[in-house]
Amino acid sequence: MLTPNVNLTGKTVLVTGAAGFVGANLVKELLNTVEKIHIVGIDNMNDYYDVSIKDYRLAEIEKLAAEKIDCKWTFVKGNIADRVLIDKLFAEYKFAVVVNLAAQAGVRYSITNPDVYIESNIIGFYNILEACRANPVEHLVYASSSSVYGSNKKIPYSTDDKVDNPVSLYAATKKSNELMAHAYSKLYNIPSTGLRFFTVYGPAGRPDMAYFGFTNKLREGKTIEIFNFGNCKRDFTYVDDIVTGVKHIMQNAPEKVTGEDGLPVPPYRVYNIGNNSPENLLDFVDILQQELIRAKVLPEDYDFEAHKKLVPMQAGDVPITYADTSALERDFGFKPNTSLKEGLRKFAEWYYEFYLKKGE
């Protein structure tokens, strides 16, 4: 087990993508558990999906921050691709820790809208790296993705595996982030840790994710399409488990060490954060429908078979994601463990409150 070497108490922390799914949940966790922390959140509030969900997440943070009188929350609406803004924030706040969760997400969207991925995931991340070089930080933590494993056949996916076969531009940008971070860690001795997230889900999640999209379609009486004729498996990871992992990692920066050549050994790590338990999509849909009925999102007599269609694989998709999380367990004694039933129950209950209860 690693001994924490970054104390977050009383520190100023930057969270990019703070109105995003993982970002907002991380901010709330830090406000709840770290004394005297000052969190600066930045998000461009783009309309890739329903902005009202981002507004809801921010409102939840504001409410919590108002109760935590010894902590401080500052929100900046802006784009990490804006170099002038990023440099200004770093110079003003002197961040101790940076968590870069801002990114254009979505595999399928990258096939039709490549520009936004280059802007946010490449240029934006470059701006963060440059700002960390000019204003040294104790630790840079950034989101990578399970999509970097691409067409790898070996499972479960290990961070020791080669990841040279991306099957989408999104995956390629995330692999690029890892390469860029490694170069900056080596050249400028910046402690950095990349996190390969595996299919994050939960309340107030992203509507472009399968569980959320399926729910919307079923409510509207539309047909849901299950790819690869139902022969897909996903390592679904509940958002609270992801956030717990991120918080552990924030407090454990890779050590700065000088090599035999007198130059820095890159203080660089990468971890998988997944559930280490892939679920078949058909089983997942079955659990989802049970929980949607239980939460009164759908009526008890809903005919699922009439609204379900098995279709071939889509471009950019992979048949299975499966995380080897042994390094996470070894270094932090932590392993995601929220069951799919428990996680989807919480999502269904939130969905009912957010979309249906108002109209009753």
Q: Find out whether 197 and 145 touch, Cβ atoms under 8 Å.
A: yes
77: β partners: 43
- Two tokens at 101? 């969760």
> Distance (Å, rounded) from C-alpha 200 to C-alpha 240?
9
289, 269, 268, 278: which is closest to 323 by C-alpha?
278
User: Which residues in 252-307 belong to E strands, given as ranges?
Assistant: 257-258, 264-265, 268-273, 279-280
- DSSP letter (8 states) at residue 310: E
Q: Find out whether 191 and 138 touch, Cβ atoms under 8 Å.
A: yes
Quick check: bond before 156 cis, omega within 30?
Answer: yes
225: β partners: 309
Q: Find out whether 176 and 122 touch, Cβ atoms under 8 Å.
A: yes
86, 93, 190: which is closest to 136 by C-alpha?
190
- Two tokens at 349? 């209950």
Question: Quick check: is 238 catalytic?
Answer: no
Q: Looking at 117, 142, 170, 351, which residue is catalytic?
A: 170
> Distance (Å, rounded) from C-alpha 78 to C-alpha 16?
10
279: β partners: 234
95, 113, 107, 103: which is closest to 16 by C-alpha?
103
Type of residue found at 22: V
Where in the sequence numbering do the catalytic residues fall?
A: 170
